Amino acid sequence: MTDRYAVLGHPIGHSKSPLIHSLFARATGQDIAYTAIETPLDGFDDTVRAFRAGGGRGLNVSLPFKLQAFEIATDPSERARLAGAANCLKFEGGDRIHADNFDGVGLVNDLQRNLACPLAGKRVLLLGAGGATRGALLPIAAERPALLAVANRTADKAHALKRDFAAHTALQTGGYGELSGQAFDVVINATSTGLSQDALPLPAGLFAPGALAYEMVYGKGLTPFLKQAQAAGVARVADGVGMLVEQAAEAFHWWRGVRPDTRPVVDQLTVPLV
């Protein structure tokens, strides 16, 4: 019997998730059907209920519903609780909704496996203090970087993360201007500027020699952040396509108990950054 999965979002027509999961299923011999469901902004709960009532086994959740996905969960993971958001749901029994957030794990796996950028002992900077950063902090901290910093336009929002995660990791937090005089080995843009095409007010000297500049947005070519990095002399730049594939692999493993090989799928979806 074919098991049903889907991704919910608004909009969702651009999603690569159906392709990714179909490739995973083919490679691992799993009998699943995976679709994308355009979800009304006021219809998330109803869509989830209808999907589950129709025999659905699990859901990926895209923007703007990750907060709502966390709120409906009966059994959220610690990662989801700290992020305050979930990007994956699994249905078990009559009324249990398990939730997890695999974005941060996907990011770390992409950095270390696909981009050969180990985080241990590195100075790592996350730009932005929203949900994407919240989901990334614990997985990055687990790799024991020498420094983990968060900078945001509004410094108070970054400082709030320092308080929220105090029991789990030490963070350096502040506004962009407070980065002056510091250099980082890995700089990750977790803001939405890759979609808006706005540039960030980054100080000179932010990128250490040999640094990697990573844009979480994927498929947008050279975003303003990546252009800033290249203008600063950074040779290693990447977008978030590998993160997308790696978080999908975590969801697939969670649902099916089988871990797919991500390298062929990353290679197939990667496009030159120009």
Reported as a single tens digit per residue, the pLDDT across 61-80 is 998 999 999 999 999 999 99
With 90 as the cut, is the pLDDT of residue 260 above it?
Answer: yes
pLDDT at residue 274 in the model: 82
The domains of the chain, with CATH numbers, are 3-101 (3.40.50.10860), 104-241 (3.40.50.720)
List, in sequence order, every residue forming a beta bridge with 243; answer none if it has no partner.
Answer: none
Residues 52-64 have pLDDT tens digits of: 999 999 999 998 9
Model pLDDT, residue 89: 98
Q: Give the total residue count for the chain.
A: 274
Helices (runs of H) and strands (runs of E) counted in the chain:
11, 12
Q: Name, in order, each residue with C-beta under 8 angstroms of 24's C-beta and a sequence gap of 6 or more.
A: 30, 248, 249, 252, 260, 265
One-letter amino acid for residue 49 of the chain: R
Average pLDDT over residues 146-159: 97
Give me the pLDDT at residue 193, please.
85
- Whether 66 is a known active-site residue: answer yes
- Of 16, 66, 90, 122, the catalytic one is 66
The whole-model pTM stands at: 0.94
In percent, the amount of the chain with pLDDT more than 70 equals: 100
Min mean pLDDT across 178-187, 193-202, 249-258 is at 193-202
pLDDT at 90: 98
SS3 assignment, position 68: helix
pLDDT at res. 26: 98
Structure confidence at residue 181 (pLDDT)? 96
Average pLDDT over residues 84-93: 94
**CA count, 13 A, side-chain hemisphere, 243:** 24
- Which residue's entry shows tokens 């002992």? 121
- Whether residue 65 contacts residue 73, with contact meaning beta carbons closer than 8 Å, is answered with no
Q: Lowest-confidence range among 27-31, 99-103, 269-273?
A: 269-273
Summarize the confidence of residues 212-231 as an average pLDDT.
95
Q: 230-251: buried (b, 16+ CB within 10 Å) or exposed (e) per residue?
A: eeeebeebbbbbbbbbbbbbbb
The reported pLDDT for the residue numbered 202 is 96
